[in-house]
Amino acid sequence: MHKGLTASVLYKKSNRNIIDDIVRAQLSIIDSAILEAHQAGRSELRYTLPTVFTIGTMSNVDAQICIYHDLLQLYKLSEPTGKGFVDTYIDTAIKPTLVVRWVNGMTKDERNKKMDFIKHCEIANSNK
């Protein structure tokens, strides 16, 4: 028996596979840029996102929403579902810019605790 038109047939004909391809390509570019920034000693990447997408009958605004949402979700969600960059957002002030931050060395809290410990040891040693 032939079922005719099904939801899975429509999904295969949808633009979702094109969105997925664009997201995968952007992930590869962004991951490379993060690694390069990290190796240079930085702890933040500001990546200007593309703004024009030609995806079948989907409007450009809808394509942006889908792609930006997927990128944010992948970078922000904890591992293993996502990449675990919780301090990630899109700055839309001028051009949509994906901002990704990570710890490169110590967190501010770690640094403060270690500095306090060092100061405490110095004070304890000066009192002898």
Q: What is the DSSP letter of 5?
A: S
Q: Which residues pair with 97 in a beta bridge?
A: 48, 91
DSSP-derived secondary structure for 48-103: EPP----BTTB-HHHHHHHHHHHHHHHHHSPTTTS----EEEEE-SSS-EEEEE--
Q: How would residue 128 be classed by pLDDT, with cut points 50, 70 and 90?
A: low
Q: How far is CA 17 from CA 20, 21, 73, 81, 82, in A?
A: 5, 6, 17, 20, 19
H or E segment at 44? strand 44-48
Q: How would residue 46 be classed by pLDDT, with cut points 50, 70 and 90?
A: very high
Per-residue pLDDT tens digits for 66-77: 999 999 999 999
Which pLDDT value is given to residue 124? 67
Per-residue pLDDT tens digits for 59-109: 999 999 999 999 999 999 999 889 999 899 999 999 999 999 998 777 778
Q: What is the DSSP letter of 104?
A: S
d(CA 41, CA 36): 9
pLDDT tops 90 at residue 37? yes
d(CA 30, CA 98): 9
